[in-house]
Amino acid sequence: MAESKGVMVYGEIAEGKLASITTELLGGGRRLADESKEELLCILIGDQVGEAPQQAIASGADKVYTAEDPLLKEYQTDSYVAVMEQAVKDLSPRILLLGQTSVGRDLAPRLAFRLGASLSTDCLELSIDPDTKLLQQTRSVFGGNARAIFASESLPQIVTVRQKAMSPLEPDKSKKGEITPIKVELDPAKIRTKVIETVKEEVEGIKLEDAEAIVTGGRGIGGPEGFKQLEELAKALKGAVGASRPPCDNGWVPDTLQVGLTGKIVTPELYIAVALSGASQHLAGCSGAKNIIAINKDPEANIFKEARFGVVGDWKQLLPAFTEKVKELLAG
Amino acid sequence: MNMIVCCKQVLDPEAPPASFKIDPGSNQVVPPPGVPPVISPFDEQAVEAALRIKDSQGGKITVLSLGNKLLRDVVKKPLSMGADELVLLEDEAFEGGDSWSIAYALAMAIKKIGEFDLIFCGRQAADWDAGQVGSGIAEILGIPSVTVAKKVEAVDGKARVERVIADGYQVVEVTLPALITVSNELGEARYATLKGIMAAAKKQPTIWKPADIGVDPSQTGAAGRRTKLVKLFQPVREGKCEIIEADSPAEAAAGLAVKLREAKLI
Ligand SMILES: Cc1cc2nc3c(=O)[nH]c(=O)nc-3n(C[C@H](O)[C@H](O)[C@H](O)COP(=O)(O)OP(=O)(O)OC[C@H]3O[C@@H](n4cnc5c(N)ncnc54)[C@H](O)[C@@H]3O)c2cc1C
Ligand SMILES: Nc1ncnc2c1ncn2[C@@H]1O[C@H](COP(=O)(O)O)[C@@H](O)[C@H]1O
C-alpha cells in the first residue's frame, strides 16, 4: 500500500442529492484535513451519481471519486464493500469517515474487518492528537451513559459519525476540485443478497429529522388514542410527533417514529417529552435539542434532569389545557 | 436447520441512569450493586428469531457466549427459552477484548462447531454499543450478512429478511449459510417456561478455552485489540429544570405555555 494520506468521506446520495449526513461529514472532514494539512476526498457510489460530485466539492471536498455501475443501484453489502475495499487500497487514506446510518452501520464494520483496520462506530467528536497525530475518536457507549475516547492502532482509521454531530460548511459553488471516475469490476455471482422490495413507512407531514418542534410520547401515553392528542399539539406547533421505544414496540405508532440510540437523532429547537422517563438510550437521540420540556407524573423521572421547563402531573389532565393555551397564544 | 446464536452477558442497560458509575483509575464501569447482569436485549431477540424458525420447521440452536466468570443463571436463559445447547468461551484470556478479538474468537468457535445454516447476533451489544461483531464474524467466515433484521424466514436454501432502514424496511434475500443481526423491531423475546427452566438447569454448558478453538494468545482478549481505549467518562449535565407549579393541572399547563412564549420558544 502507498503511504497513507488524506481524509476520505464515504458519501451517501438521497433523491439525487448529497444526503445531509454527507455534507456534515464533509464539514467535519474539512476541519480534520486542514488540521493535518491533507486533502479531503469524497467517494460516491451508485448507478448514477448525478450532480452529487459538484455538490461534494462545493461542500468542502478537494477530490471526488465516483463509482457508477448498474449493479450499484441499491446498497448491498457485498457489492459496496468490494468497491470500497478497492478504493481504500488504491487511495490509502489515513482517515475514513462514514455516517452512522442504515448504510454506514452495515458497510463500515464489514469493510474494517476486510481491511484488517479498526473502527469506532457512532462517534460524536473527532480531533487530531497533537502528539501522535492520530485521530481521537469520542463515542457514546453504555447506552449514552458514558463517553469513550478511542485511538486506532493501525491505518486507515475508520469511524462512523452520528447524524447531526458535525456541521456542514456553507456551500461554495465557485470552489474547484477534481472529479475522477473509478473503474468498477463487479462479479454479480459474488453478490449474495438480493433486494426484493423496499417498503417506505413514512408518516405524513414534516419529517422528524427536519422538524423544529417535536412532541414525543412515551410508554405512559398508554395507547394509540393518546398519540392523536400529541398529533394535535404537534400540528399547532407546525412540528412532528416522535416516540420512545415502547410505543413503537407496542405498535401504537410506526417504528420510524422512534427517537434514540437506535432510532432517529433529532435536534429541534423545542422537544416536548410527554410521559417518558428519559432513559439514556432515549436521550441519546434528543439531547441535541435546544430546549427539552418534560411532562411526567413522577418528579424523580430522569427527563427532568435534561429539561429546561417541566410540569409534574398526569398528561391526560395537562395536555388538553396546554394545547389549548398554545393555540390561543399562537393565534393572538 | 442448524442455527447458532451469539449472546453476550452485559450489565443491565436499563438500570436507573443514576446508578451508573465509572472508576476513572481503571477506565471501567462499576457494576451497580444489586442489579444483576443480563443477556444483551438484542441477543435475546436473536434467540427469539432462531426459535421462530425452529418452531416452524425444526432445527437445532446452539448458543455461544464469550467472557469470563459468566453467571450460569444469566447465560443459561436462552436454554430455558428453548435453545438446545450452550457453548461458553470462558477464560481470563478473553477479558478486555474489542470487536476484533471477540469476533475472531467467536468465528473460530463457530468453525469448530462446524455445521450451520444461520448465525444470529444482536444488532449491537448493550454495553459498548459497537454493532461490529456480527459483521466481523461473517467476514472472517466468508459468509454473507444482513444487519438490523426485524423478520427472518428460511426458505429453499435462502433466508428472506426484513431489514430495518431509516424510513421503513427492505426485504432482502440472502443465500445460506448467512449471518443475520437482529433488532428490537422483531418483537419481544418469549419468556422462559417452567419446563424450559427445569431442562436448562440440567444441561451442562460446554466450555472452551482459547487453545480449544485454536486462537493464538496474541489474538485473544486485550492482546488482540486493534483499538486503544484512551478514556472512559460520564458526560456532565448542566441542566436545571424550572418546574411550573399551580393550583390545578389546567393552570400549570397554561402556565407552561405562557413560559414557552416568554422564552420565545413558541
Ligand atoms: C441497547 C438499547 C437501545 C435502546 N434504544 C432506544 C431508543 O433508541 N429509543 C428509546 O426511546 N429507547 C431505547 N431503548 C429503551 C430504553 O432503555 C427505555 O426502556 C425506553 O426509552 C423507556 O421508554 P419510556 O420512557 O417511554 O418508558 P418508561 O421508562 O416506562 O417511562 C414511562 C414514563 O411515563 C410516566 N408516566 C406514566 N403514566 C403517566 C401519566 N399518566 N402522565 C404523566 N406521566 C406518566 C412515568 O412516570 C415514566 O417516567 C433502548 C434500550 C436498549 C437496551
Ligand atoms: N462476548 C460476546 N459473547 C457472545 N456474543 C457476543 C459477544 N460480544 C458480541 N457478541 C455478539 O455480537 C453482537 C454485536 O456486538 P458488538 O459488536 O459488541 O456491539 C452482540 O449483540 C452479540 O450477538
> pLDDT tens, B171-213?
999 999 999 999 999 999 999 989 999 999 999 999 999 999 9
CA neighbor of A240 nearest in space, from A252, A224, A227: A227
Number of domain units in chain B: 1
Expressed as residue numbers, the domain containing B67 is: 2-224
In a domain, B234, yes or no: no
Phi, psi of B91 (to 5 degrees): -170, 150
Ligand 1: residue of B14, B121, B148, B243 to mutate (most ligand atoms within 8 A of CB) is B14
In a domain, B230, yes or no: no
- What letter represents residue A329's amino acid? L
A199–chain B Cβ distance below 8 A for any pair: yes
Q: Specify whether domain A7-190 bears CATH 3.40.190.10.
A: no
Q: What is the pLDDT of residues A10-31, one digit of tens each?
A: 999 998 999 999 999 999 999 9
Residue-level pLDDT at B171: 98
Residue B81 CA to ligand 2 centre (angstroms): 19
Ligand nearest to the CA of A302: 1
Its pTM stands at: 0.97
Residue-level pLDDT at A106: 98
- Chain B positions touching A269 (Cβ under 8 A) are 265
Residue-level pLDDT at A332: 81
A80/A153 Cα distance (integer angstroms): 25
Nearest residue of A to residue B172, measured between CA atoms: A195
Rounded mean pLDDT of A117-139? 96
Atom 47, ligand 1: which residue's CA is nearest?
A298
Residue-level pLDDT at B237: 78
Residue A232 CA to ligand 1 centre (angstroms): 22
Question: Cβ of A151: how many Cβ atoms within 10 Å?
Answer: 18
In a domain, B258, yes or no: no
Residue A317: pLDDT over 70: yes
Rounded mean pLDDT of B43-61? 98
Q: What is the pLDDT of residues B220-245, one digit of tens each?
A: 999 999 999 999 999 887 778 999 99
Please report, for chain A, the start and end positions of each structural domain, with discontinuous segments joined by +.
Answer: 7-190, 208-331
Percent of chain B with pLDDT strictly greater than 90? 94
In a domain, B103, yes or no: yes
Residue-level pLDDT at A50: 96
Residue-level pLDDT at A52: 98
Residue B265 CA to ligand 2 centre (angstroms): 43
Reported CATH class of domain A208-331: alpha beta
In a domain, B236, yes or no: no
Question: Residue B109 burial by CB count (10 A; 0-12/13-18/19+): exposed, middle or buried?
Answer: buried
Residue-level pLDDT at B51: 98
Contact between chains at A197 and B265 (C-beta distance less than 8 A): no
Residue-level pLDDT at B19: 92
Residue A2: pLDDT over 80: no
Contact between chains at A318 and B252 (C-beta distance less than 8 A): yes
B88: left (phi over 0), alpha (psi -120 to 50) or beta: beta
Of B99, B184, B241, the CB nearest to A245: B184
A301/A278 Cα distance (integer angstroms): 7
Rounded mean pLDDT of A212-235? 98
Cβ(B159)–Cβ(B142) under 8 Å?
no
Question: How far A174 CA lies from chain B's nearest CA (Å)?
Answer: 33
Average pLDDT, chain A: 96
Contact between chains at A262 and B228 (C-beta distance less than 8 A): no
A115/A110 Cα distance (integer angstroms): 9
Contact between chains at A145 and B17 (C-beta distance less than 8 A): yes
Ligand 1 contacts CB of residue A286 (under 6 A)? no
In a domain, B142, yes or no: yes
Average pLDDT, chain B: 96
Contact between chains at A280 and B259 (C-beta distance less than 8 A): no
CATH number of the domain bearing residue B47 = 3.40.50.620
Q: What is the pLDDT of residues B1-18, one digit of tens each?
A: 999 999 999 999 999 988
Nearest residue of A to residue B265, measured between CA atoms: A270
Atom 23, ligand 2: which residue's CA is nearest?
B121
Least confidently predicted of A15-19, A108-112, B74-78: A15-19
- Chain A positions touching B20 (Cβ under 8 A) are 142, 145-146, 280
Contact between chains at B145 and A293 (C-beta distance less than 8 A): no
In a domain, B11, yes or no: yes
Residue A281 CA to ligand 1 centre (angstroms): 9
In a domain, B259, yes or no: no
Contact between chains at B229 and A307 (C-beta distance less than 8 A): no
